[in-house]
Structure 1
Amino acid sequence: MKTLLDSSTKLPRRSLLIAGMAGLAGLGLTACGKSAEDSQQALVPAEIDPRSTCDLDGMLLADYPGPKAQIFYEGTPQPLFFCDTVELFNTLLRPEQVRAVRAAFVQDMGLADWDQPRGHWFEAKNGLYVLGSKRHGSMGPTLASFSREDQAQAFIKSWGGRLLRYAEIRPEMVDLSGGALHDSRM
């Protein structure tokens, strides 16, 4: 019985070795592609609980009204939470933000209770945002987040503001500096 590596085989050993290595490399790339794809599919927003805190200021998320947010960074299995969408966008739009973001999620305020929002997460980049409404979040004026335009328009009709898409939000709209200076309640 002859084996593929016998000297009488028509394919030289070198060709078989190269073909075998190319096949293994192809399998490795396929496996890498699947695992990266699987990790993206497996990424789901985490739910806040009574102990969840904002990663910027340590505030308890459950103690404050308005939309919350979270970012999953590359290499980090747990998200960083934000007690307000303004904090999320302030973080994402800073020029020094260089960490690779796997996903950012916000709450759909067309479905969530404004005063005690839980659940109803969706990808921030797919959202519609209302800037300048009379409703405040944990940091004061906020960007109300919605997954559907009709719900955002109904919110605007009740609370005022203007509709923005994710890409329309600019750093000057989410500036966190000096917020306490303009808060007359403090």
Structure 2
Amino acid sequence: MKRLLLATLLLAACKEETAQAPDPIAMTADALSHFCLMQVDSHPGPKAQIHLKGLPEPIFFAQMRDALAYVKGPERDADILAFYVSDMGAAESWQSPGIDNWVAAQTVSFVVGADVSGGMGAPEIVPFADPAAAEDFAARKGGRVMSLSEIPAELVLAPVDVIFNEEAPT
């Protein structure tokens, strides 16, 4: 009996460790940007949603740079369970990035240093699920294609006028 109880406890512990990340949710008019508390859908460019441990709903970001600052910054409200970004290759347009074309940030190609402004008017970092679409965007708008892990924290944590007036770090 003791062995059965121990096996059950170990199995339960394994299940907890391998829990799947929550699915993304469609963005609604009620979604407010985490930092500025403005309506996310009233701003152009890519968006992000981050699911945190202990919170029933994700937090949204009106600009990709802000979401990356949250992820790469030293201060967070809780552990990140999932990080989703707009797939701009599937977006209707820059003005209408989509409400449910979310992809896991760890799987996308980001264009850094392109000549585009995001939801809050600052230079934007643009996510694409398809690496070829990211390369095409970079060829047209400038910038470099990077993975999430290649984007330096300093790029998203420094003041916009300091980082984006210089070439993106290598």
Paired with 1:30 and 1:167, the residues of 2 have a C-alpha distance of: 32
Paired with 1:25 and 1:124, the residues of 2 have a C-alpha distance of: 38
1:26 is the counterpart of 2:1: no
Change beyond 3 A, Cα 1:98–1:57: closer
Q: CA offsets, 1:100-125, max 9 Å, x none?
A: 11111101101113211122111111
Corresponding pairs, count: 159
1:89 is the counterpart of 2:68: yes
- Native 8 Å contact 1:87 1:176 kept in 2: no
- Native 8 Å contact 1:55 1:82 kept in 2: yes
- Native 8 Å contact 1:74 1:102 kept in 2: yes
Report the equivalent of 1:143: 125
- Native 8 Å contact 2:108 2:148 kept in 1: yes
Report the equivalent of 1:104: 83
- Native 8 Å contact 2:54 2:78 kept in 1: no
1:132 is the counterpart of 2:113: yes
Paired with 1:98 and 1:82, the residues of 2 have a C-alpha distance of: 15
- Native 8 Å contact 2:113 2:123 kept in 1: yes
> How much has 1:51 moved relative to structure 2?
1.7
TM-score by length of 2: 0.84
Paired with 1:22 and 1:61, the residues of 2 have a C-alpha distance of: 52
Identity %: 29
- What SS does the corresponding residue of 1:71 show, helix, strand or coil? strand
Higher strand proportion, which one? 1
> How much has 1:168 moved relative to structure 2?
0.9
Q: CA offsets, 1:130-185, max 9 Å, x none?
A: 11112211122111001111000111122111111111111221136466xx9xxx
Unaligned runs of 5+ in 1: 1-19
Letter in 2 for 1:40: Q
Change beyond 3 A, Cα 1:111–1:171: same
Higher helix proportion, which one? 1
Report the equivalent of 2:53: 74
Paired with 2:65 and 2:81, the residues of 1 have a C-alpha distance of: 19
> How much has 1:35 moved relative to structure 2?
5.2
RMSD of aligned residue pairs (Cα, Å): 2.0
- What SS does the corresponding residue of 2:117 show, helix, strand or coil? strand
Report the equivalent of 2:137: 155
Greater gyration radius: 1
- Native 8 Å contact 1:90 1:176 kept in 2: no
